[in-house]
Amino acid sequence: MIEAIRQRALELGFDDCRVTSALPPASLPHFQAWLDSGQHGEMAYLQRGLPKRAQLDLVLPGIRSVIVLAVNYHPTLGGSPTSAPPADRPQCAPSIPGQVARYARYQDYHERLAQPLQELAQTVDRLGGPGTRSLAYVDTGPILERDLAQRAGLGFVGKHTNLIRRRAGNWFFIAEILTTLELPPDPPEPNRCGQCTRCIAACPTQAITAPFQLDARRCISYLTIELRGPIPIELRPAIGNRIFGCDDCLEACPWNRFAHAGRLLREAARPDLDQPDLLELLSLDEETFRLRFRETPLWRCKRRGLRRNVCIALGNSGDPRAIPALQQAAHDPEPVVAEAARWAIERLQGQQPLPAD
């Protein structure tokens, strides 16, 4: 039965399919200690969902197994001719380029993976027979998916706290199907980092405080996506031109030499997000922002958050051409945007930035 499920997963475009039990992850005490230390920052949903993360039958009563899936998003997928940006947007070199995390240079993966996940869940229910129930997740439910994936043998948690696959490096999404069907579990994947600490050295803000320990409050991905208020001034220079997420610790991993392109996201690439023009992004009104980013991960930080991030990236650019646009943004009705714009102007003008309001 498990081989039939794996075969169907591959047919649907998933790059790997593994199984683990529904037992609580062994890392749960460490996760609780991390929450207690406050290193999750403003991500309060992590604390709220803790009971379900600890006891999966609160998510799906009668659960017996977790099917864990991998979906590659290797960078070579970018530039699909079927996913080019609209023709009314000029194709030219950005005047001041920004940087978007590679996973976000696609249409929203939650939407793209929903249908194949549901189809695979239906296959599991059919193979399990009457009474079998399955529930699909892709980074949306209260489960410790990274830890379940390691226990299922999908990969191992690296020193940067992300999952690494020996055959795909760091560039992949994880999805799960929780099911009441009992399936034989795969063996866990042992850690294979060895003495390597490249990811720790690569972090621009020293957010990886020790091997396997991340202070999210310093992580650029957290700062540019999850944080709603002002980004701490002392961390702003290290953000560089990143406006949504950061790949530095992932890119540093030597296991990426085995990375390869997947299939499920091939038609979802957004090459217009490879090096977006910061000045153009700062000029987007609410409607244009919605039309351009509603179906991408960038929608998560909203226009206000993106404008805040763009202002900081422009302040780090060293390019005085950004000053007129920043002067307009300094009058933005959103305080977090106006403050970031003022900081950027002062930085470009070579002045010592004033403290945030």
* Token output for 13: 């475009």
Q: Encode pLDDT of 52-74 as tens digits.
A: 888 999 999 999 999 999 999 98
- Report residue 93's pLDDT band, with 50, 70 and 90 as the boundaries: low
What is the Cα 346 distance to its own chain's centre? 31
Query: Does residue 283 belong to any structural domain of this protein?
Result: no
Quick one: pLDDT at residue 54? 87
Task: Single out the catalytic residue among 36, 108, 139, 319.
Answer: 139
Residue 176's nearest CA partner among 3, 9, 2 is: 9
- Report residue 262's pLDDT band, with 50, 70 and 90 as the boundaries: confident
Query: Does residue 331 belong to any structural domain of this protein?
Result: no
Query: Does residue 90 belong to any structural domain of this protein?
Result: no
- Report residue 75's pLDDT band, with 50, 70 and 90 as the boundaries: low
CB 80 within 8 A of CB 107: no
Quick one: pLDDT at residue 272? 92
Query: Does residue 295 belong to any structural domain of this protein?
Result: no
Helix axes 286-293, 302-317, angle to 10 degrees: 90
Quick one: pLDDT at residue 266? 85
* Beta-carbon count within 10 A of 130 CB: 5
Coil, helix or strand for 165?
A: strand
Q: How many domains does the chain have?
A: 1
For range 94-122, the mean pLDDT = 93
Quick one: pLDDT at residue 85? 43
pLDDT, greater one: 311 or 54? 311
Query: Does residue 183 belong to any structural domain of this protein?
Result: yes
For range 105-119, the mean pLDDT = 92
For range 248-252, the mean pLDDT = 97
Residue 139 annotated as catalytic: yes
Query: Does residue 57 belong to any structural domain of this protein?
Result: yes
337 phi and psi, to 5 degrees?
-75, -50
Range(s) of the domain holding residue 198? 2-82+95-272
> Taking 50 as the threshold, does the pLDDT of residue 80 lie above it?
no
| Strand partners of residue 175 | 69
Burial class (CB in 10 A: 0-12, 13-18, 19+), 333: exposed
Query: Does residue 143 belong to any structural domain of this protein?
Result: yes
Query: Does residue 173 belong to any structural domain of this protein?
Result: yes
For range 313-320, the mean pLDDT = 96
Quick one: pLDDT at residue 79? 38
Q: Encode pLDDT of 175-223 as tens digits.
A: 999 999 999 999 999 999 999 999 999 999 999 999 999 999 999 999 9
For range 90-107, the mean pLDDT = 83
